[in-house]
Amino acid sequence: MKDIQRISPVVFKSTPLKTEKRDNWEVVTEYSKEGDGPFLVDLSHRPRFDLQDSNLDAITPFGMGVPEMPGNSALENGILANRLNGIQVSLYNLASDVVMPDEIGYTDVTESTICVALIGKQVFSICEKLTSLDFMDPQRKAPFLFQGPFSHVPCQIVTLSKEGDKAGIVLTCSRGYGRDMIHAILDAGEEFGLSPAGEARATDWINSL
């Protein structure tokens, strides 16, 4: 039986330099002209899960503790956990080889959503053109989560770092908004030299945090 090709909803008008076939995804690890940043990276192929349980504090998904308060996030060994509310947490596998747990309560949302990273010094200036959310909130320590509109689309957005070249966010939203979301971000970032980059750029960034 022929394998089903899994296709990212994110499309860049850039020429891939290096690609990998992974779990039926065609993953671009590097583009031919990535520039000096800031960067927009497609991570839609990275596994993402929704976990719901009435006793989340007793669960350790991927061996890590769940953040206690809604809006808090934790990054451990490439896994990003985001507390959404009293019974729900989202889990992004950004740089790990672990697989989905066998326990009940997990829903794989990888193919129903897009996931992108915005990396570099100017990312928050770009974000200011697309949302009123304050990703530089001095009262909050990274990583932290916002659930709100970004380019008028309901999203989960996590500030992973506020610091210089390491500054950046990870954003997810419904797959159906993929084309319009990417267009809006690239258009807002044009004056700052925003360019697409391959997965390797995001992996190096995440591993440096």
- Ramachandran assignment for 152, one of left (phi > 0), alpha (psi -120 to 50 degrees), beta (any other): left
pTM attached to this predicted model: 0.95
Considering only CA atoms, which of 112, 125, 209 is closest in space to residue 166?
A: 209
Q: What is the pLDDT of residues 16-25, one digit of tens each?
A: 999 999 999 9
Q: Name every residue whose Cβ is closer than 8 Å to that of residue 196 and which is 6 or more positions away in sequence.
A: 12, 14, 31, 34, 39, 40, 41, 42, 186
Residue 184 reports pLDDT greater than 80? yes
Burial 115-135 (b: 16+ CB within 10 A, else e): bbbbbbebbbebbeebbebeb
The pairing of strands 39-42 and 48-52 is: unpaired
Residue 1 reports pLDDT greater than 60? no
Considering only CA atoms, which of 115, 123, 120 is closest in space to residue 43?
A: 115
Q: Which CATH superfamily is domain 1-209 in?
A: Probable tRNA modification gtpase trme; domain 1 (3.30.1360.120)
Q: What is the pLDDT of residues 171-182, one digit of tens each?
A: 999 999 999 999
Q: What is the pLDDT of residues 110-121, one digit of tens each?
A: 999 999 999 999
Considering only CA atoms, which of 3, 4, 7 is closest in space to residue 110?
A: 7
